[in-house]
Amino acid sequence: MTMEAKASPEERLLEAAAELSYRHGIGVGIQALCQAAGVSKRSLYQLFESKDELLAASLERGAPAYTAWLLPSPDDGGSPRERILHVFERMETATLAPEFQGCRYLTVQIELKSPTHPASRVARGVKQALAEFFRAEAEQGGASDPDLLSRQLMLIFDGASARAGIGVDDLTGLISPTVSALLDAEGMR
């Protein structure tokens, strides 16, 4: 991995943590992170209290861009149904990339298994924001049970992401029709 020479040690560590933890899992070692960022262990520990804090900061740093990419613009003019489908079309597009290994926020939660880990808390917040988006759109679109629909959409999102991430399924042409059937069943406009 090549880090931009002008980036600060903190930025390089955040970038290395994002890239290496996604590619190799959260168990990536301190030595590998420092080497990829071109910083010493001492520098890492001067900037971050622990590797856990570095991972959490890296996830938090990436969350706004992830959300902006995944969700439609608030003023896009689409119907609630179209806005929900937008999310799944984005996810389906992402699954086609050879480097796709699933939703990084779901993966962190699965790997850590601890809801109190700093990185797990960040990941849970990102996933909760997505669930809230689904619930708000479901309510706006007249779903009979917006809370249930939000939970069902999260199940599809996370399940599809996980299946594509581990390479057991080609989801092309499967995600949107599945979500559409669910939206139809809930009476979504």
Domain locations in the chain? 1-48, 51-185
The CATH code of domain 51-185 reads 1.10.357.10
Please determine, for residue 5, whether its predicted confidence score (pLDDT) is greater than 60: no
- Please state, for a pLDDT cut of 90, what percent of the chain lies above it: 91
Question: What pTM was computed for the model?
Answer: 0.92
How far apart, in whole angstroms, are the C-alpha atoms of residue 140 and residue 91? 22
Domains 1-48 and 51-185 equal at CATH topology level:
no
Give me the mean pLDDT over the 51-71 stretch: 97
Instruction: Region of 77 please: left (phi>0), alpha (psi -120 to 50) or beta.
Output: left
How far apart, in whole angstroms, are the C-alpha atoms of residue 129 and residue 132? 5
- pLDDT digits 0-9 by tens, 109-156: 999 999 999 999 999 999 999 999 999 999 999 999 999 999 999 999
The CATH code of domain 1-48 reads 1.10.10.60
The SS3 call for residue 168 is coil
How far apart, in whole angstroms, are the C-alpha atoms of residue 131 and residue 137? 10
